[in-house]
Structure 1
Amino acid sequence: MELTTKRYKYKRIFLLITFVVILPFLFEEFIIQFYHLDFENKTFYDLLNTGALLLFAFPVFFYLIRKTDQTAFYLEQQHEVNKKIQHKLELSNIELAYNANHDFLTGLPNRYQLFNLLDKMASERTELAVLFIDLDRFKSINDTMGHLSGDQFIKLVSIRLKQATPLGTQVFRHGGDEFVILSELPNYRSIEIAEGVLESFKKPFNIHNTTLYASASIGISHLPDHGADAVTLIKNADRAMYQAKEQGGSMYTIYSLLSQNDEHKQLMLENDLRDALETDQLLLHYQPVIDLETGLLKSFEALVRWKHPKLGLVSPAEFIPVAERSMLINDIGTWVLETACRQVKEWHAVNSDIGLAVNVSIRQFRNPQFPDLVKDVLEITEYPAHLLILEITESMMQDDWESIRIIDEIRTLGVKWAIDDFGTGYSSLSKLAFLPIDYLKIDRSFTMEMLTHPPMQSIVQTIIDMGRNLDMELIAEGIEEAGQSLLLQHYGCQFGQGYLFSKPLPAEEIEQAYCLTTLMKVH
């Protein structure tokens, strides 16, 4: 446009010089010479000069005026166009700024805005809470229903979170299936917020006419106790979330400074655990399960142990969470299942009715290949499927639809299922009736209090009656006294295990203790 204006300027100067100066002068000279005019009065020359000027100047002035009007109109149009372009650019900049700070799928503020806002607020406030939320078993939704359904589920979760959080909080999408709630409320109210979120997940989600139940694990960190900047607060909330997930999920955990001190030890255990399988450091102990009425051996529960070359015998409570977090639990679980099946299969040469119970971790249970793995182990070891019991905990049964699918698929092989530590988790009794479970294992905390705390006897009897009414068999754990065994038998519990009968023993000691020549009655 600037170049066009400059060209028009030069063109106008050229026209003015040509039509106002040069052509009138040449025309006047031509007329005088052609007609041989010679006026004595100078006024006639002035009139001739004026006429010539008017003759040539009027058209050019008329042209220039019209051109000026056209240019002005063009400039006005161009100005309007420029205003529209500028408006579009402003809208584009607003949109770009919004997209840079918000998640495209849910419309929630994104991680970039979270860090910026959290750093600013951390420098201005004395209290602040960060709740890091991770959806439990979200991958199974993507795998079974597709990514479009997964995206729809994430949208529904974002809406549910906004509805479940009070004023003074803000929900962010951190990425994937992770969300963060930033609370400006007093730190003690972070527990109330977490409980509200967990409560909101008890309602099902509806995706394309399919009802889904989901849960979440929540980690909480506080300013200033757990960090003074965004990176530290979010990192520690993330760590706390993993602690909640390791305990079965569908719960919240507040970050503990003590956990930071354990990290070096856990890192060492994780590194050593990777070598444990290859160097035969893992071993199995077997604890017998006894028929309380006859005193005869029913089965064995296989329990993994780790004989560390430097630390000695490491407790499963210490290394199993490490295995869960590092994903080594699938390899360890497979080794336990196969090794135990091979061992008890050998004992079948003496007694073909001996059963085997093996614990299953939540990561194994949620592994899409787990049913095929169980099938492969049964085929390789030739172990009778109907004598195998897989034990899971109550907390692993939160996603009913997915849990039932996995259990049913493995039950078609003939394998039985048991809920371990029953009574300590969060199972809904209304849902228990629909779960294809064969055994309930009464937690040792109930058994051990039966003789010293009489009201506990009513609770145990209620559990036994409920299990029997649901056509489930009962196994009581932690039996240490004969009085406990007699009460349990009186209430209708069929089986028991505990130190009264035997502590967990290596395979060699089991063979010596039971001889495995006849069904041994326990005295």
Structure 2
Amino acid sequence: MSPASAAAWVVAVLVSVVSAVALTVLVRQRDRVRVELARTDPLTGLGNRRALHETAEPLLDRDGRLGLLLLDLDGFKDVNDTLGHAAGDEVLVQVATVLAATLGDRGTITRLGGDEFAVLVPDPQDGDRGVAELEVLSKRLLAALAVGDLHAGVVPIDLQGSIGIAVSGPDGRSLGELLQRADIAMYAAKRARVGVLRYDAASDPHSTGALELLGQLRAAMDADQLALHYQPKVSGDGGRLLGFEALVRWNHPVRGLLLPADFLPFVERTHLIHALTRWVLITALRQAATWRAQGLQTSMAVNISAVSLDSGLLGIVEEALALTRWNPADLVLEITETAIIHDPVGARAVVERLRERGVRVAVDDFGAGSTSLVHLRGLAVHELKIDRQFVSELVAHPEDDVIVSSVIALAHKLGLAVVAEGVETGAAADRLCALGCDELQGFYFARPLPADQAMAWARAEGMAGAAVELR
């Protein structure tokens, strides 16, 4: 081989080697980019669900302590529905920036999808100190959102959030368990409108105890373990019986008498709530029809869970009215502010259908939540029930007096009747009467009573033959 040929051969070999090395580098870079893209949320640039797993699982495999914060934005659906998804995406990018800046190097933030974000906090302190640390961090994140100057174009956006906290060890060993339990805590925080909650097994409808209780409740409806107690609603001057409110109780064979707070939070997360609503409605109206035949003229009020406030409720109401031949004008369905806030459009549609049917609708616990007056104006309800927190201290606290008097005046201007619940003293009853409150309800008149005792109370008070007075 000539020197020229040898040199050419060497050059060719070097070019081939360099090309192979360059190709290998490019392939590796490409693979790294692909892996990074697979771990990255394309909208916000944060890590995605895969990144969450890849970050958390090595820590959990080493039995390291890990805190998980699950954040969901409150009311973000309104941004998309009102301004469009492009505007919603713009806001989500800003939210991600605010959260990441606030978190700093204290943890890792990922976007799981939609308006849901997860924060991993490695090595929180043990016990209550660690939980307190995570709660403080959660509140800082929510506070940063509140002052984050969010906007869609030139439109300012006011967003709040709810955070559920789960801690490895006591709340779960795997990331799947932590996500599930943080999700339960987050929705509990959203329902209670408290911002931040740590997972509590006692309120978990999927825990062993809760599942057992739900199974027992299914049988309890067939075994006559459920009962209704009835609390009177009287006229503003306290002289006339206007109706009763039906309140469910469970005569548990082992745990004794259970109040709604002991089992309804579990039931509301299952389809069993519809069966329970049907049972309560039919039982209450049958009892009211029996009383009416005995000379006790009264309306009947039944509480409706926010979960039940959908089109299926209309069929349940129609069935109950037909089975009992009850006048729909003498039925009052009480819905909470939470139900209105959760789905104002859906709530309005159901309430309008109920009104067309002749059923009366009341907003329960008014003042405990944050019902928009715009929502109230567009909602075809008949009455407001002032939350007991304002009524119970009405005489002792002048500011409560101002709130109650303002609500009564506002409701009357809107053509609504007002019911004050939680009336516990004669002084409160007198003051409410002076303010023009239409109906009163509370321990001052009577506690919730079994059906036979409710009739006995009405007779003792001389109200058994009272005519129903509906506004």
Aligned residues: 443
CA distance in 1, matches of 2:246, 2:171: 40
Greater CA drift, 313-322 or 80-89: 80-89
Corresponding residue to 1:483 among 409, 427, 431: 427
**3-state SS of 2:34 partner:** helix
Gaps of 5+ in 1: 1-64, 207-211
Of 394, 417, 426 in structure 1, the residue corresponding to residue 337 of structure 2 is 394
Secondary structure of 1:280's aligned partner = coil
Matched, 1:339 2:277: no
Residues 142 and 160 in structure 2, CA contact (< 8 A), matched pair in contact too: no
- After superposition, give the CA deviation of every residue in 1:156-180 in whole Å (9 maximum; x if it has no partner): 6743531542351654233576431
Shift of 1:351: 5.9
One-letter amino acid of the counterpart of residue 351, structure 2: I
Structure 2 equivalent of residue 190 of structure 1: 137
1:308-335 residue CA offsets vs partner (Å, 9 max, x unmatched): 1111111211111121234422221221
- Aligned twin of 2:465: 518
Does residue 1:361 correspond to 2:308, yes or no?
Answer: no
**Maintained 8 Å contact 2:302/2:333:** yes
Task: Select 1:450's aligned residue among 394, 399, 402.
Answer: 394
1:299–1:355 contact (8 Å) kept in structure 2: yes
Q: Deviations over 1:96-140 (max 9, x none)?
A: 31343235677642222113324567899x9975321346799x9
The 3-state SS of whatever aligns with 2:357 is coil
TM-score after normalising by structure 2: 0.75
Q: For 1:298 and 1:313, how far apart are their aligned partners in 2?
A: 28
Equivalent position of 1:243 in the other structure: 188
Contact kept in structure 2, 1:133 and 1:216, CA below 8 Å: yes
Tell me whether 395-404 or 344-353 shows the greater mean CA deviation: 344-353
Q: Deviations over 1:351-382 (max 9, x none)?
A: 696222111112112x4523343334334433
For residues 441 and 17 of structure 2, the distance between their equivalents in structure 1, rounded to whole angstroms, comes to 89
1:437 aligns with 2:381: yes
1:220 equivalent among 161, 165, 188: 165
Change (3 A) 1:240 1:288: same
1 CA distance for matches of 2:110 and 2:320?
44
Q: Identity percentage over the alignment?
A: 31
Name stretches of at least 5 consecutive residues in structure 2 with no aligned partner: 125-132
Once the two structures are superposed, what CA deviation does each residue of 1:258-303 show, in whole Å capped at 9, x if it has no partner?
769x955434323322322222211111111101236111111110
2:105 maps to 1:161: no
Q: RMSD across aligned C-alpha pairs, in angstroms?
A: 4.7
> Is residue 233 of structure 2 the alignment partner of residue 302 of structure 1?
no
Choose between structure 1 and 2 for higher RCO, CA contacts under 8 A separated by at least 6 residues: 2
| Aligned counterpart in structure 1 of residue 272 of structure 2, from 328, 341, 347 | 328
After superposition, the Cα gap between the structure-2 partners of 1:505 and 1:87, relative to the gap in structure 1 and judged at 3 Å, is same
User: Judging changes above 3 Å, is the alpha-carbon distance between structure 1 residues 294 and 130 closer, same or farther for their aligned structure 2 residues?
Assistant: closer
Structure 2 CA distance for aligned equivalents of residues 301 and 232 of structure 1? 40
Question: Higher mean Cα deviation, 174-183 or 290-299?
Answer: 174-183
Residues 129 and 190 of structure 1 are in contact (CA less than 8 Å); yes or no, is this contact kept in structure 2? no
Does the 8 A contact of 1:216 with 1:250 survive in 2?
no
> 1:218-253: CA deviations, max 9, x gaps?
2124689978985675455334224324x4457321
Q: How far, CA to CA, are the matches of 1:405 and 1:197 in structure 2?
A: 36
- The equivalent of 1:172 in structure 2 is 110
**Distance (Å, rounded) in 2 between the aligned partners of 1:454 and 1:113:** 55
Counterpart CA distance in 2 for 1:394 and 1:379 is 29
Post-superposition offset of 1:153: 9.2
Q: Distance in 1 between matches of 2:166 and 2:240?
A: 52
Q: Comparing 151-160 with 232-241, which one deviates more in the overlay?
A: 151-160
Q: 1:83-482 residue pairs with structure 2 within 5 A?
A: 89=27, 93-94=31-32, 96-103=34-41, 108-118=46-56, 130-134=68-72, 155=89, 158-159=92-93, 161-165=95-99, 166-168=102-104, 170-174=108-112, 178-182=116-120, 187=134, 189-196=136-143, 199=146, 217-221=162-166, 234=179, 236-245=181-190, 247-248=191-192, 251-255=195-199, 265-293=209-237, 295-349=239-293, 354-365=298-309, 367-399=310-342, 400-429=344-373, 431-482=375-426
Contact kept in structure 2, 1:134 and 1:218, CA below 8 Å? yes
Whether contact under 8 Å (1:288, 1:300) holds in the other structure is: yes
TM-score in terms of structure 1 length: 0.68
Given that residues 43 and 93 in structure 2 are in contact (C-alpha distance below 8 angstroms), is that contact kept between their aligned partners in structure 1?
Answer: no
- TM-superposed deviation, 1:433: 3.5
Alignment partners' CA distance in 1, 2:261 and 2:149: 29
Alignment of 1:36-51 (within 5 A): none
Query: Residue 132 of structure 1 contacts residue 180 of structure 1 at CA under 8 Å; is this kept in 2?
Result: yes
1:493-521 superposed Cα distances (whole Å, 9 cap, x missing partner) = 01011122222112222233335851189
The match for 1:18 is none
Residue in 1 that maps onto 2:128: none
* Secondary structure at the counterpart of residue 70 of structure 2: strand
